[in-house]
Amino acid sequence: MICLKNHEFSPKATFECGQCFRWTADDKGYVGIAGGRACRIRDGRLECPEEDNAFWRSYFCLDMDYSAMKAFLLEQDPTLEPCLDYGQGLRILRQDLWETVISFILSANNNIPRIKKMIEGLCKKFGEPIAFEDKILYSFPSTQCIAGLKCSDLAALKLGYRDRYVMDAAVFMASHADSIAWQQLSAEEARQTLMQIKGVGRKVADCILLFALGCYDVFPQDVWIRRIMGQVYQTPERSTQEFAQQKYGYYRGFAQQYLFYYYRNHAGKIQG
């Protein structure tokens, strides 16, 4: 068990900000699965087998103190204050690279309930069952498992045109498993490598960099961020990346998450 009350952590803000898709709320808290391990978040505690503690500490980045980062962002941009307050306890997770690649390929032109349904279907069909509490959860299938399939094997999941992207990603990741030292690449090098996968453009690549590789100096840009930058900061789309770099520096990935989470849930503050 890990006491999350000792850290700045809100399960709702963390799990419902659009960075992850395998956490489910129930009347006891949240249940989630990652890295073939399951756990429950309840009353400020993370309940899991003791041997999994190190994994979850890394997954939730509990070694990072958010106070200095938030102080820097607020000094740079006082208009972030309501975003930081609303996103109190939002933590950027350190997710598995392969799972994050597929999750954000499936996220393109999609909504969160459907993304979760697609991912859950993929896991139920090709993952391994894991008993947890009174439930059966399913691990995320391996690259080798998916790479060995045909697009027709994915048809029942109703991924649409994304099935060929999933297959291409699996083949790419499996064939480069031992040849790419991801942690040694710069953000730009990793971005260009990811964009060799079909279905991975700049926005999807930046989400993968932020949520799996700990590249906090990226600023994923979707329709919401474009609206926020244009209406709140009067920054045209072509200047967004330069603005974010100059304004937020290394922590611009965090700024993006606080901005997205706040304005996505306060849609009336910006025009659709």
Active site residues: 203
Contact 113, 212 (CB under 8 A): no
Structure tokens at 86: 């609303």
Contact 38, 55 (CB under 8 A): no
- Rounded-to-integer distance, Cα 68 and Cα 74, Å: 10
Structure tokens at 53: 């503690």
- Rounded-to-integer distance, Cα 21 and Cα 1, Å: 23
Q: Tokens 């006891």 label which residue?
A: 28
Using alpha carbons, select from 122, 104, 129, 116 the residue that is nearest to residue 38. 129
- For 209, phi and psi rounded to 5 degrees? -60, -40
Q: Which is it for the CA torsion 41, 47, 48, 53, positive or negative?
A: positive
Using alpha carbons, select from 179, 172, 224 the residue that is nearest to residue 194. 172
- Rounded-to-integer distance, Cα 208 and Cα 98, Å: 9
Q: How many CB atoms lie within 10 A of CB 269?
A: 12
- Rounded-to-integer distance, Cα 265 and Cα 272, Å: 13
